[in-house]
Structure 1
Amino acid sequence: MGSNSFLTTKDKIIQSAIELFNQKGFSGTSVREIAKTANVNVAHISYYFNGKGGLMEHLVSSFYEGYLKILEKGYQCLDEMTAKDCLLQLVFDILSYQHEHRQLTRFVYREVTIDSTLIREVMSTYLTKEKYILHLMIEKGKTNREFSHFPLSHFMIQLKSLLMMPYLQPQYISEVLYLQTHEPYFYQAYFKEMKTWLSSLLNREHESIAVT
């Protein structure tokens, strides 16, 4: 409660919305509940976000704006580093970003699984940009003979699944695997496993058995 008192009214609403959306879902949360948890007047939600729908749009957009900055940083490093090192650094930076914003990440990734106008817009903007940057990295790696040849679409499915899984299935990971996804050690150890997978997939030594 003490740290919350230093937040602006807008930030209090955002923080409370993320908490409640994760606990009760977007549809199961009312603007009155958000206002009560944030200890603000319900009219503030309309003032800052034009209602609950606008609040969700703000959360999703702000998450992907930050995510896009990570991708653009990865794109820029192609001029200075190998494609493999750029890709590994990008994956680590994504995992770090997701961990830093883990509650928001969990909410957004759950919403991305629901077909809606907002999510279709996300797909056509942010996630299309993500595919484009990853495509550039992979093609540079193939051109420079760093990477074996493999279908980009299958690679994207595997990569996105690994990046999103800890936030789509946190209960499974904690209750069945006894791992705590909110701890820094988790994403750092998780990156090491992803690095092993990526290195194995990208290694040209496996080209003879790779699908082209």
Structure 2
Amino acid sequence: MTQQPLRDTKQKILNAAIYLFNSKGYAGTSVREIANRANANVAHISYYFKGKGGLLEYLVSHYYEGYIQVIEENYSLLKYGNAHTVLSKIILDILNYQHENRQLSRLVYREVTVDSVLIREVMTTYLTKEKYYIKSVIDQGIEEGYYRKGFVPHMIIQLRSLLHTPYLQPQYMSEVLHIQPHEAYFVHQYYKELKIWLNSLLLENQSLEGKLVAVR
């Protein structure tokens, strides 16, 4: 009888932390403020997360577990299709994942720019896996003759920047460019532009584009 209320309390704490960490910053947010916004007791935060640091660690780890799962599920499709189709699907699914978790995406991507023990652990686990999968797909695309030869780390930098920027600069997008990344149509339109970039950056021969399986 008490399990559901406890689960609800945990989720309220997570939601409150995401909001406050985004609006006030991690350092500027107190455990008591999180508890008050979640209508919970400070002791609940200690019980579930062992404090504010554990709460941030949970949010970042939980986000990247889902993020890597999206990539892994598509990576497994390499045995059935060409690398370009798989990479296109990875991009689309990451965009959808970010959109579904947009407040958390904003928080996590901002925290990754800060040097800390937590982020170093993220770099050596989740982000190393991300690099492995993306590099493997691009390398296979080169072997298949779809992609031009190039310095793959630079390609990965550009891809990650294009994927993450909407959630690192939401105010600039909404107030200067008048683009609303929280709207459902944003993912569809942005994906179309990313496909144009992907084709221009990677394809060895632009005439190959029409031969590849389209991802809708």
* TM-score (structure 1 length as normaliser): 0.93
CA distance in 2, matches of 1:181, 1:7: 30
CA distance in 1, matches of 2:39, 2:105: 24
CA distance in 2, matches of 1:86, 1:146: 12
CA distance in 1, matches of 2:171, 2:8: 32
The aligned counterpart of 1:209 is none
Work out the number of aligned pairs and report it. 202
Alpha-carbon offset, residue 7 of structure 1: 6.3
CA distance in 1, matches of 2:188, 2:9: 34
Give yes or no for the alignment of 1:11 onto 2:5.
Answer: no
* TM-score (structure 2 length as normaliser): 0.91
CA distance in 1, matches of 2:142, 2:110: 34
Correspondences of 1:16-165 after superposition (within 5 Å): 16-165=16-165
Task: Structure 2 unaligned segments of length 5 or more: list them.
Answer: 207-216
Deviation string 1:55-87 (CA, Å, 9 cap, x unpaired) is: 000000000000010111121010111100000
What secondary structure is seen at the aligned counterpart in 2 of 1:201? helix
Greater shift in the superposed pair: 104-113 or 68-77:
68-77
Deviation string 1:121-173 (CA, Å, 9 cap, x unpaired) is: 10111011011001110111111111111111110110111111001110000
Contact 2:146/2:205 (8 A) holds in 1: no
Alpha-carbon offset, residue 205 of structure 1: 2.4
CA distance in 2, matches of 1:119, 1:14: 19
Task: Letter of the 2:71 partner, please give it.
Answer: L
What secondary structure is seen at the aligned counterpart in 2 of 1:71? helix
Q: Cα RMSD between the aligned structures?
A: 1.3
Alpha-carbon offset, residue 6 of structure 1: 10
Aligned residues: percent identity? Answer: 57
